[in-house]
A and B are shown apart, each in its own frame.
Chain A
Amino acid sequence: MHFLPLLQSVSNWAPIVLIRDSKYGMPAVQSFHLLGLTVLLATVVALDLRLAGFGMNDYGLSWLAKQVKPWTWGAFVVVISSGLLMFLATPGKYLGIHPFRLKMALLGLAVLFHFAVVRRFTAADSEVRSRRVDVIVACVSLTLWFGVGWAGRAIAFIP
């Protein structure tokens, strides 16, 4: 990989070194990561439950999608930036960890699925769609996003 030396040099950049080697640095970044995923996944769950018809049924689907959107985005930005900081601190290490690679693959799929499918499905209220399809889409969405979460946890335990 030719960009690995580039990543290594970024990891020596003063702000990254400060985050990595200071007493508060990594716990602080990790805390942001946790807070971000807490809100991100909460909005995903609320919307997917409504899509599947298992919860939040008092509200219109497209209205709910519109309401959670800024929070999903904001939380996603927090998660990605904190994740990026952690990655840049020791890039070589993470690239060699299998759960990390799985996590990134699932993250890509989750984002892709969100834009390609979920957004379309939640754009309008009255759709002539079978309930079964809605439930499957919601399940795939939840599996992908929580899959990202579990793969992230596995990083600490599996090489």
Chain B
Amino acid sequence: MPFSEWCQWLQHTRFATTITESDWLFPLIEGSHILALPLSVGMIVIADLRLLGLAFCGEATGRIVPSFLRLSRIGFPVMFLTGVLLFVTQAGKAYGNPFFRTKLIFLVLAAINAAAYQKLLYPKMAGWDSAHGAPPGAKFCAAFSLVLWIGVIVCGRTMAYQF
């Protein structure tokens, strides 16, 4: 079955329809998706700002960045679960939506960027002193991360206007 057809099927399952037609369940899921943003993306943004030397200066990067990344673990499971549930309710429509597709691409890029950071730069963070801050590679990762996450939020909001 081609993927687009499977999306249509998924959207019309009883599970999906129950959420789609609900009085309070859909608003709860959608509201949680938005209000878990500060607990996920918000914490990543602060960590990125530290790497760029714009925030929390004077405290070792090797301490602050892991602290905020740890906090972001509260929100991401919620974002993922609610995101999947929201997709299920409109799989067919979302599949063809250019903003949704862009959002997914940005999410994948953000994950790759984060993985690269974890593997290559995270172990070296303790050596970056407050005077000189993070090396250019880390700053690039941080700036790229910011652009991607802002893009995810903008696409997420705008996709509703493309149905």
Contacts and interface: CB of A to CB of B under 8 A. Distances in A.
A37 to B, nearest CB: 7
B88 to A, nearest CB: 19
Determine the interface band of chain B, counting residues with CB < 8 A from chain A. Answer: 20 to 34
Interface in B28-78: 30-31, 34-35, 37-39, 41-43, 45-46, 49, 55-56, 59, 63, 67-68, 71
Determine the interface band of chain A, counting residues with CB < 8 A from chain B. Answer: 20 to 34
Contacts of A67: 55-56, 59
A90 B94 CA distance: 29
A127 interface: no
Task: Give chain A's interface secondary structure class.
Answer: helix
A42 B150 contact: no
A20 B153 CA distance: 20
Contact of B43 (A37, A40, A42, A154): A42
A147 to B, nearest CB: 10
A56 B63 CA distance: 10
B79 to A, nearest CB: 11
A97 interface: no
B163 interface: no
A30 B157 contact: yes
Nearest to B99: A27
Interface of B: 27, 30-31, 34-35, 37-39, 41-43, 45-46, 49, 55-56, 59, 63, 67-68, 71, 150, 153-154, 157-158, 161
| In the complex, the 5 A-B pairs of residues with the closest C-beta atoms, listed nearest first | A42-B42, A41-B38, A153-B31, A42-B38, A38-B42
Interface of A: 27, 30-31, 34-35, 37-46, 49, 55-56, 58-59, 63, 67, 70-71, 146, 149-150, 153-154, 156-157
